[in-house]
């Protein structure tokens, strides 16, 4: 008697590089041999109610190519960018109503394929339906103690050593790194506590991006050799001296005065101004400037280790820059702008010498999403626009600081 099964088949695809080519290739032959002994397997009927975790199924390998509902066998090469096991001789009735769940595992960059992707194939008669069930581009995000070994005390000191050497070797003698927090007090919990630090660049609000990129590369180099929890803030001597856009408020002044440690560079602390700022709009701009600079600081590291985080931080920077333009104009004339990109022409009117090219590029990308999507594929193009966007915001803050000096009341 013919069996018309409701079958559930779980399949797995393993993607990797030539580093794992030999075990994959061996697995390929082993499974071919095993499956050849079961040439005429009929799948046992299984009643499936998704997503019941207790369903029964016969797991038959890595990937099945369905040519039609009566032919559930397929062959994919182990060469190239991916491999799969050859499942041979699996047959079922053409009346089968089958559901197959396929899990893809990738060891490549997230842009190629998600690390975990579940797809449901439903076959009935000559109809094949593909439904995306779930998956995450960052399901293997690093979590210390879960999927990443916790750092040791040597990793903490090792990172600082590698980072400092990189900065000094590249001649950035006027850049300052000051540490504070539990690591300085030696009360940190190894493997859990982060290193808190403040990076200060000399000069005006607009940081020299060649120096900034060197420091970003230093962070990437240090973290690749010693993965540790790290919290670095970036600022410049001009905004720290002005006080309104100081990354720390007045509550930190006495704390940093007594409990900080300079790792390299001049100690600029005596030039800092700590203030209590009641202006919520200035606080918002300060937060956005800090976020954009922080994202750019870690951009090289995430570009090589976590493309999703790299693009996420880049997008946040574009959002922060375009929204901050509205905020700074409000600080200048107390007028609310409903549209964030209506500020382009108004900035040109208010600051005639100001270059709004970057804001126009962001506006174009936001209305031409295909162009934005293509930009994501070019890491260097992303970095370039990221640099330009941060510099645009820095210039805008500099214009505001220069045209609206601190009043005695604010002081």
Residue 223's Cβ-count burial label (10 Å; 0-12, 13-18, 19+) is: buried
User: How do residues 12-32 score in pLDDT, each as one tens digit?
Assistant: 555 554 444 445 555 555 555
pLDDT in tens, 167-179: 999 999 999 999 9
Q: From residue 218, give the alpha-carbon distance in Å to each of 155, 164, 221, 350.
A: 15, 8, 5, 38
pLDDT of 286 above 60: yes
- Checking if the pLDDT of 90 tops 50, the result is no
Residue where the block lists tokens 């574009």: 318
Is the whole-model pTM more than 0.85?
Answer: no
CB 337 within 8 A of CB 326: yes
Q: What is the mean pLDDT of residues 360-371?
A: 96
In order, the DSSP letters of 335-360 are: ---SSGGGHHHHHHHHSTT---HHHH
Phi-psi region of 125 (alpha: psi -120 to 50; beta: other; left: phi over 0): left
Residue 232 has pLDDT above 50, yes or no: yes
Rounded to the nearest angstrom, the gap between the alpha carbon of residue 31 and the centroid of all alpha carbons in its chain is: 37
316-352 pLDDT per residue, tens: 999 999 999 999 999 988 888 878 788 888 888 888 8
What phi and psi values does residue 238 have, to the nearest 5 degrees? -65, -50
In this predicted structure, the answer to whether residue 164 has a pLDDT above a threshold of 80 is yes
For residues 272 and 241, is the Cβ–Cβ distance under 8 A?
yes
Fill in the DSSP letter of residue 149: P
User: Is the bond leading into 51 cis (omega within 30 degrees of zero)?
Assistant: yes
Query: What is the mean predicted confidence (pLDDT) over 113-138?
Result: 39
Q: So what's the pLDDT on residue 14?
A: 52
Fill in the DSSP letter of residue 144: B
pLDDT at 339: 80
């Amino acid at each position: 008697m013919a069996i018309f099964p409701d079958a559930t088949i779980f399949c797995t695809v393993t993607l990797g590089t030539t580093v794992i080519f030999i075990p994959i290739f061996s697995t390929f032959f082993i499974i071919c041999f095993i499956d050849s002994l079961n040439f005429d397997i009929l799948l046992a009927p299984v009643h499936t109610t998704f997503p019941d975790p207790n369903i029964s199924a016969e797991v038959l390998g890595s990937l099945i190519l369905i040519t039609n509902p009566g032919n559930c066998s397929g062959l994919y090469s182990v060469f190239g960018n991916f491999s799969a096991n050859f499942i041979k001789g699996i047959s079922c009735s053409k009346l089968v109503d089958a559901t197959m769940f396929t899990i893809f595992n990738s060891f490549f960059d997230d842009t190629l394929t998600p690390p975990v992707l579940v797809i449901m194939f439903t076959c009935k008669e000559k109809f094949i339906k593909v439904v995306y069930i779930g998956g995450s581009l960052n399901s293997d995000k690093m979590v210390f103690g879960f999927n990443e070994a916790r750092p040791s005390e040597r990793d903490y000191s090792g990172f600082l050593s590698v980072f400092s050497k990189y900065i000094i070797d590249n001649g950035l003698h006027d850049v300052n790194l000051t540490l504070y927090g539990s690591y300085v007090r030696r009360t940190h919990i190894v493997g859990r506590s982060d290193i808190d630090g403040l990076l200060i660049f000399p000069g005006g609000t607009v940081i020299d991006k060649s120096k900034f990129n060197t420091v970003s590369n230093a962070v990437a180099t240090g973290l690749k050799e010693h993965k540790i929890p790290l919290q670095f803030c970036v600022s410049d001597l001009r905004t720290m001296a002005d006080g309104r856009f100081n990354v720390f408020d007045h509550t930190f002044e006495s704390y940093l005065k007594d409990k900080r440690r300079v790792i390299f560079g001049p100690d600029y602390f005596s030039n800092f101004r700590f203030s209590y700022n009641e202006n919520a709009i200035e606080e918002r701009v300060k937060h956005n400037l800090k976020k954009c600079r922080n994202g750019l600081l870690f951009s090289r590291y995430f570009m090589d280790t976590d493309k999703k985080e790299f693009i996420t931080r880049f997008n946040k920077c574009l959002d922060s820059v375009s929204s901050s333009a509205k905020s700074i104009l409000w600080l200048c004339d107390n007028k609310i702008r409903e549209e964030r990109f209506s500020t382009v022409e108004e900035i040109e009117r208010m600051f005639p010498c100001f270059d709004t090219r970057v804001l126009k590029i962001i506006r174009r990308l936001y209305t031409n999403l295909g162009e934005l999507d293509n930009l994501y594929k070019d890491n260097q193009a992303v970095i370039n626009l990221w640099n330009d966007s941060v510099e645009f915001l820095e210039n805008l803050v500099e214009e505001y600081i220069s045209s609206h000096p601190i009043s005695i009341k604010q002081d």
